[in-house]
Copies of this chain bind each other. A is one copy, B any other.
């Protein structure tokens, strides 16, 4: 895959999904059943409904079993925990995710902690978070893992590079920092309390923006030749747009991922990849390892 100014995530995600489908088929031949994902959706947030529907469709297309538990906004937390525990015990379910955000009144972190860490395909469970930061990663969050593969597919190695991450969420910014650190990048995490964001981002060889403010990053924030990864998903006037002014940044950067069509497709692909790895690991009686299973996949493509 050659590098260009706009780094399309869709062909990279398609290659991951093709490999997922091949591994899922092999698993099915051996185990007599496909890898299975259960998604839990609470309430009626339209974006969350769309995300969950996309994930379920992607599962089916790759030959994975998928089920969606859509519960009303008023579901008591105890019932949610009961559902998670039941799913933990299902031999046909290898991955469980609770779509974030959950309605007020539900403690997301408490529900998350109930998921069997070996089935936590979002990679958000404290045990999986801790494993990453202790240097023994197991199931790694999907968006950071997708970003790593996307970089590799476009020929960018984090090793020895200055990576700057804008945004410190536990979904993207923090786990990505852990991941890029393991990959030998020098990592800086910026956030809303960072004075002079522009000065910090301009130091980056690899700049990842996961803030959620449309058009936050312009050409002035970017070092010439940097790799820019836009994780923002903002809805503005009915259109989806990123945190990066793409056209402007593309003129100075080595490459920039568009929104939509950049990181988003990778996130879904890595969810499937994690589910297949969770299934294989459980069948083989070993802990899952997203990085060993998938982390070097993009290298062969650049």
Q: Which residues does A use to contact B, with CB under 8 Å?
A: 109, 124-131, 133-136, 159-160, 162, 168, 170, 174-175, 177-178, 181, 184, 186-191, 193-195, 200, 203
Contact = CB atoms under 8 A, between A and B. Distances in A.
A174 B134 CA distance: 8
Contacts of A200: 162, 186
A160 B130 contact: no
A127 B124 contact: no
Nearest to A110: B136
B130 A193 contact: no
Contacts of A130: 125-131, 133
B134 A178 contact: no
Given A126-B127, A134-B129, A181 B189 contact: yes
A195 B161 CA distance: 8
Contacts of A124: 134
A205 to B, nearest CB: 10
Contacts of A170: 133-135
Nearest to A174: B133
Contact of A160 (B134, B162, B194): B194
